[in-house]
A and B are shown apart, each in its own frame.
Chain A
Amino acid sequence: MMRDTVILRVVVKLLLPAILIFALYVQFHGDYGPGGGFQAGVAAAAAIILYGMVFGIDEAKKVVPRRIVNTMIPLGVLIFAGTGVASLLLGENYLDYSPLGSKPVKGQHLGILIVEAGVFITVASTMLAIFYVFGGRADEADEKGGEG
Chain B
Amino acid sequence: MLAQHLPALQVVIPLLAAPLCALFRRGFIGWLIAVAATWLAFAAAIGLLFRVLNEGVISYAMGGWAPPIGIEYRVDLINVFVLVVVSGVGSVIIPFARTGTAARFNDTDQAWFYAMYLLALTGLLGVTITGDAFNIFVFLEISSLASYVMIAMGRDRRALTAAYQYLIMGTVGATFIVIGIGLLWAMTGTLNLADLAQRIPEINDTRPVLAALAFLTVGISLKLALFPLHLWLPNAYAYAPAVTSAFLAGTATKVAIYLFLRFFYTVFGGGGFFESTPLPEMFLVLSVVAMFAASTVAVFQDDVKRMFAYSSVAQIGLITLGISYVSETGLTGAMTHLFNHAIIKAGIFMLLGGVMFRMASVKLEDMAGIGRKMPFTMAGIVILGLALIGTPGTSGFISKWWIVLAALEKDQWWLVALILLASLITMLYVGRIVEVAYFREPSAKAADVREAPLAMLIPAYVLVIATIYFGLDTQWSVGLAQRAAADLLAGIY
Contact = CB atoms under 8 A, between A and B. Distances in A.
Interface in A94-111: 94-98
Interface in A55-105: 70-71, 73-75, 77-78, 81-82, 84-85, 88, 91-98
A74 B8 contact: no
A98 B1 CA distance: 18
Contact of B63 (A74, A77, A95): A95
A interface, by DSSP: helix, strand, loop or mixed? Answer: helix
Interface residues of B, number: 20
B22 interface: yes
Given A73-B22, A74-B115, A93 B16 contact: no
Given A71-B23, A73-B22, A92 B15 contact: no
A77 B19 contact: yes
Contacts of B15: 77, 81
B57 to A, nearest CB: 17
A93 B62 CA distance: 6
A82 to B, nearest CB: 7
Interface string B1-22: 1000100110010011011111
A98 B63 CA distance: 9
B63 to A, nearest CB: 4
Nearest to A82: B16
A81 B1 contact: no
A74 B271 CA distance: 43
B310 interface: no
- A interface bracket (residues with beta carbon within 8 Å of B): 20 to 34
From B5, B21, B60, residue with most partner A Cβ within 10 Å: B5
Contact of A78 (B1, B5, B16): B16
Nearest to A92: B64
B61 interface: yes
B130 to A, nearest CB: 12
Given A93-B5, A94-B8, A74 B64 contact: no
Contacts of B20: 74, 78
Nearest to A77: B19
Contact of A93 (B19, B60, B115): B60
A78 B23 contact: yes
B137 to A, nearest CB: 17
A94 B115 contact: no
B8 A84 contact: yes
Contacts of B9: 88
Contacts of B63: 93-97
B19 A81 contact: yes
Nearest to B111: A74
Nearest to B61: A93
Contacts of B21: 74
A40 B289 CA distance: 51
B281 to A, nearest CB: 43
20 contacts: A70-B25, A73-B22, A74-B19, A74-B23, A77-B18, A77-B19, A78-B23, A81-B16, A81-B19, A82-B16, A84-B12, A88-B5, A88-B8, A88-B12, A91-B1, A93-B5, A93-B64, A94-B62, A95-B63, A96-B63
Interface of A: 70-71, 73-75, 77-78, 81-82, 84-85, 88, 91-98
Given A85-B16, A93-B62, 11 more contacts: A73-B22, A77-B18, A88-B8, A92-B64, A93-B61, A93-B63, A93-B64, A94-B12, A95-B62, A95-B64, A97-B63
